[in-house]
Structure 1
Amino acid sequence: MADPTSKTVLITGATGYIGRRLTHRLLDAGDCRVRLLVRNRNKVQVAIAGQVDIREGSTFDAASLTAALEGVDCAFYLIHSMGEGEDYRRLDRESAENFRRACIAAGVRRIVYLGGLGKKESASTHLLSRIETGEVLSAEPEKVQTIWLRAGVIIGSGSASFEIIRNLAQKLPLMITPRWVRTRTQPIAIADVLSYLQHSADLEVAGNLVVDIGGEALRFQDMIVQAGAAMGLKRVILPVPVLSPRLSSYWLIFFTPVPYKIASALVEGLKSETILQNDHAARYYPQVRPLNFSQAVAAAELDLAHNQVVSRWCDSSALRVCDIRDYDDPAGAVLRDVRVVPFARGERQQDVFRCACRLGGKFGWSRYTVLWRLRGLLDKVAGGYGLNRGRRAPDSLRVGDAIDFWKVVDIREDKRLLLYAQMKVPGQAWLEFDVQPQQLVQTAHFLPRGLLGRLYWYSVLPLHNLVFQDLAEAVVKGARQPQG
């Protein structure tokens, strides 16, 4: 544990892609007390829960925000939206305003914010919201100091940008692409982002500071070609002027794990250059020597090879993902498909549970995986996550993890696994594995939305009879195999 006399830092967005990794970085350094502000404490990894001070709440709950900031020296603001609803820009500004005021009232010395590169006059709507958030946080420098880091494409295992680039490089030897692939940006390794964040807590500087961070300037097509080369693959890219941003977004969702919302935000962001506007990173952080793009790709690939993916882009990519507490109880469902499979050959309860926890990703969904993939393709077309989102790690799960188009909303070791559907359906759906001492009870729960929801449920019942019975039997059968 850190010295009890050391400073206290608060991390918001602590269960997101950057927040999870920053938490680990600060704990490893051991020179501060780490406090997390989260919507649901169950999303904090069990392995570190005892090492951090967990406070439940949000930037829209004044009481919880005040309590979380009490005694804090430096607060990391890692909250942003990917466009959840039409009013997300206003909500982003309101969130930042609430946070700045609460920091001032609590006597917080410094706010550290991670935003995006770009000029306000040419920024996409998503990047403009990031810029506006930084402006709000920085609005009262005489009362609280703000260090505003600005990054472009972040390259690391589990980042949305890296997974897009990696999938394109792996799957398409020849790409006919839109003109925006020639737009320049300055990618940065996730390890370097964390270094800048970590050093920002103690940086000796007066007043507010905006710090643009990134490596060498590259076009998006350069990144795909270099990523392919790092994997031993030669890739050819032919930009054409006829692909609109909407078509480009659909092109991305068919070949990468990201849904339409994230793909469209990326495409919009790449329509204008995101290049460093200052040299403050080199001037104020001389100890950070950024990796080049090829090195960043190699580091990400190494993490994947060793299953060391601490976080993924889908950990907290939207408000609906964060508020898993609202989705961890299917008691209100009115339609259910229940499958009971006894342990006919003496399978152990813990082995059946572990087999259930291996579903999805590369392991698939048993004999009818092709039907699941077809459902995933339809979901992608409808703007959902689809089946190729995969999972963070092949052999471990935690609350908040993604499994293809499902989200883990409850885990009770050797007993229960509850998945919430993030596919496009006219209602809400769950898939529950209740592992009892002598049998597996697998239940698909569905809360339909109006008549359309009921029609949907009954129209897919014939497929349920195939896929759900097969899935339950496969989980029990898999428990007989050695767990590798």
Structure 2
Amino acid sequence: MKILITGATGYIGRRLAYKALDEGFSVRLFVRNTRKVDTELQRKCEIIQGSTFEEDNLDRALNGIDVAYYLIHSMGKGSDFEALDKKSAENFRNAAVRNSVAKIVYLGGLGEQSNTSRHLRSRNETGRILSSDPDKIDVICFRAGVIIGSGSASFEIVRNITEKLPLMVAPRWVETLTEPVGIQDVIKYLISAADSDLKGSHVVDIGTGKMSFKEMMLKAAKVMHLKRIIIKVPLLTPNLSSYWLILFTPVNFDVAKELIEGLKFPSVKENDKASQLFPEIQPESYEKAFTKALEEIYDNQVISSWCDSSGGRHCDVPFVNEISKAVYKDMHIAEVDNVEAEKVFGSVKMLGGKRGWLAYDILWQLRGIMDKLIGGYGLNRGRRNEKELRVGDYIDFWKVVDLVENKRLLLQAQMKVPGKAWLEFSLIDNTLVQTAFFYPKGLMGRLYWFSMLPFHKFIFGKMLHRVVKRAEKQVL
């Protein structure tokens, strides 16, 4: 089956493209800018550049396609977004019919047409336009509320506010009902629609059950092992709420304003067609979806930060949506010209234990004593072997979690810290890169990170310099 995915550089489209490839589909992408497409997708997919307002390019994109995914909407694109959404949907439907496409799959938003925001009304209208010729083309319109996944705006807002504010003064919209759904389940529904033999037009509402945004934040706090208090006040207008969101979350004002506007209205399921038409999919609970999203942040941003092989100065890094970059990073770089990689990496592997950390060891020892006093490992574990390492080894209060010889060493902190911490050494061509990663837990985690940054600046810089000097002297 050959499928077309529009919006493939967006949050949903990108994930759908990878999943479709895994499922064995032949994938074509229709994007406005090919340079924004992931390198891996460029290798594995056919790509056509253009927009839904360019008839020739639209025909090229839809020619020979069995199923077309329409994942386009104009969030935050000016006051005329409704007219643009309407024209775009009409052009796409007409081109799909003209090119004998069998089916269109669309993802819109939950909410009654008469009681919702302008953006959600426009998205519902888009679904209606796509479905207006059921005798000529089959259409499945999924409708979702809050999507829970690393990188989704709603998830990042809930996570950031919950992490940063022990006491929350919240507007009345925190009691508005919605139906969250995990990103993995959204992708499952979209993929299943391609194989479905449904005829005509169908609107399928998806979600895990009704809950208020207050409940979402309190359950998120429980997942993150935080205690939070929420107090409602009637004074926060949509504009004030938007400024409040951009202060504590990664979203910009335009996105925040549109989201707040939508949060004033209920967004719950109006039909049970998901369980009737796709009974094989059992949506995960909100708590499980939230936990998976947190795990995805750790994995994508730290454990899988670098590939095992690289053809250039920078290793390939898996795509992570900008909005989800919650891991703090402090990077230091040293040039290692004319020194063999084996010697440089060998010097890195000798850090810790009896030989120390090559810079301000007294500060490392003080940190170890502090760690012991609060129940941590401290520095007295040393290391298994003074020169060699393997995954699972300990180095003082660090543990080796990834090791690629002559390329990468990743250590995970086992000291007591308000969050999760890693220390990475990467050898990229003639450059040794040392990066401290930190995923904070609540307000204390953030205070801890910024209090440690001044020490990082002179400790890590000097340590990296001496690692290279030791390699140059071949004192291994």
TM-score, structure 2 length as denominator? Answer: 0.65
Question: What aligned pairs does 1:59-70 form with structure 2 within 5 A after superposition?
Answer: 59-70=52-63
What is the aligned partner in structure 2 of residue 443 from structure 1? none
Matched, 1:8 2:10: no
Distance 1:307 1:8 in 2: 29
2:321 is matched with which residue: 302, 306, 312? 312
Tell me if structure 1 keeps the 8 A contact 2:156–2:323.
no
Tell me if structure 1 keeps the 8 A contact 2:38–2:319.
no
Matched, 1:158 2:158: no
Find the residue that maps to 2:44 and give its secondary structure: coil
Distance apart, 1:254 and its partner CA: 0.4
Please say which of residues 54-63 and 302-311 is displaced more in the overlay: 302-311
Matched, 1:203 2:231: no
Tell me if structure 2 keeps the 8 A contact 1:20–1:311.
no
What are the Cα deviations for residues 366-403 of structure 1, in whole angstroms up to 9, with x where unaligned? Answer: xxxxxxxxxxxxxxxxxxxxxxxxxxxxxxxxxxxxxx
Tell me if structure 1 keeps the 8 A contact 2:250–2:323.
no
Tell me if structure 2 keeps the 8 A contact 1:17–1:313.
no
1:169 is matched with which residue: 162, 170, 177? 162
What is the aligned partner in structure 2 of residue 447 from structure 1? none
Distance apart, 1:150 and its partner CA: 0.2
Distance apart, 1:68 and its partner CA: 0.6
What is the aligned partner in structure 1 of residue 295 from structure 2? 302
What is the aligned partner in structure 2 of residue 18 from structure 1? 12
Matched, 1:35 2:44: no
Tell me if structure 1 keeps the 8 A contact 2:300–2:320.
no
Quickly say closer, same or farther: Cα 1:180–1:102, change in 2 above 3 A: same
Tell me if structure 2 keeps the 8 A contact 1:347–1:479.
no
Find the residue that maps to 1:175 and give its secondary structure: strand
Tell me if structure 2 keeps the 8 A contact 1:21–1:311.
no
Distance apart, 1:48 and its partner CA: 2.8
2:273 is matched with which residue: 274, 280, 283? 280
2:174 is matched with which residue: 174, 181, 192? 181
What is the aligned partner in structure 2 of residue 238 from structure 1? 231
What are the Cα deviations for residues 75-98 of structure 1, in whole angstroms up to 9, with x where unaligned? Answer: 000011112111111011111111
Partner amino acid, structure 1, of 2:22: D
Distance 1:171 1:44 in 2: 33
What runs of 5+ residues in structure 1 fail to find an aligned partner? 1-6, 316-342, 351-436, 439-475
Structure (1 or 2) with the larger CA radius of gyration = 2
Distance apart, 1:99 and its partner CA: 0.3
Find the residue that maps to 1:201 and give its secondary structure: helix
Quickly say closer, same or farther: Cα 1:345–1:51, change in 2 above 3 A: closer
- Which fold has the larger relative contact order, with Cα–Cα distance below 8 Å and residues 6 or more apart in sequence? 1
What are the Cα deviations for residues 284-330 of structure 1, in whole angstroms up to 9, with x where unaligned? Answer: 11111101110011000110111267542769xxxxxxxxxxxxxxx
Quickly say closer, same or farther: Cα 1:90–1:229, change in 2 above 3 A: same
Distance apart, 1:481 and its partner CA: 8.9
What are the Cα deviations for residues 227-246 of structure 1, in whole angstroms up to 9, with x where unaligned? Answer: 11101101110111111111
What are the Cα deviations for residues 347-371 of structure 1, in whole angstroms up to 9, with x where unaligned? Answer: 99x9xxxxxxxxxxxxxxxxxxxxx
What is the aligned partner in structure 1 of residue 331 from structure 2? none
Tell me if structure 2 keeps the 8 A contact 1:185–1:274.
yes
Tell me if structure 2 keeps the 8 A contact 1:152–1:187.
yes
Tell me if structure 2 keeps the 8 A contact 1:185–1:273.
yes
Matched, 1:129 2:122: yes
1:259 is matched with which residue: 229, 252, 262? 252
Partner amino acid, structure 1, of 2:228: R
Question: How many equivalent pairs are there?
Answer: 331
Distance apart, 1:162 and its partner CA: 0.8
What is the aligned partner in structure 1 of residue 42 from structure 2? 49
What is the aligned partner in structure 2 of residue 460 from structure 1? none
What are the Cα deviations for residues 256-304 of structure 1, in whole angstroms up to 9, with x where unaligned? Answer: 0001111111111111111100000000111111011100110001101
Quickly say closer, same or farther: Cα 1:154–1:313, change in 2 above 3 A: farther
Tell me if structure 1 keeps the 8 A contact 2:138–2:198.
no
What are the Cα deviations for residues 411-434 of structure 1, in whole angstroms up to 9, with x where unaligned? Answer: xxxxxxxxxxxxxxxxxxxxxxxx
Find the residue that maps to 1:237 and give its secondary structure: strand
Distance 2:299 2:242 in 1: 31
Quickly say closer, same or farther: Cα 1:69–1:221, change in 2 above 3 A: same
Question: What aligned pairs does 1:374-453 form with structure 2 within 5 A after superposition?
Answer: none
Tell me if structure 2 keeps the 8 A contact 1:117–1:152.
yes
1:138 is matched with which residue: 131, 141, 149? 131
Matched, 1:228 2:221: yes
What are the Cα deviations for residues 42-101 of structure 1, in whole angstroms up to 9, with x where unaligned? Answer: 222112322111111111111111001000000000011112111111011111111000
Tell me if structure 1 keeps the 8 A contact 2:169–2:232.
yes
What is the aligned partner in structure 2 of residue 107 from structure 1? 100
TM-score, structure 1 length as denominator? Answer: 0.64
Tell me if structure 2 keeps the 8 A contact 1:16–1:313.
no
Q: CA RMSD in A?
A: 2.9
What runs of 5+ residues in structure 2 fail to find an aligned partner? 302-317, 325-333, 342-429, 432-460, 469-476
Tell me if structure 2 keeps the 8 A contact 1:21–1:310.
no
Distance 2:49 2:467 in 1: 40
Partner amino acid, structure 2, of 1:92: D
Quickly say closer, same or farther: Cα 1:481–1:185, change in 2 above 3 A: farther
Find the residue that maps to 1:306 and give its secondary structure: helix
Find the residue that maps to 2:51 and give its secondary structure: coil
Distance 2:114 2:2 in 1: 37
Distance apart, 1:145 and its partner CA: 1.3
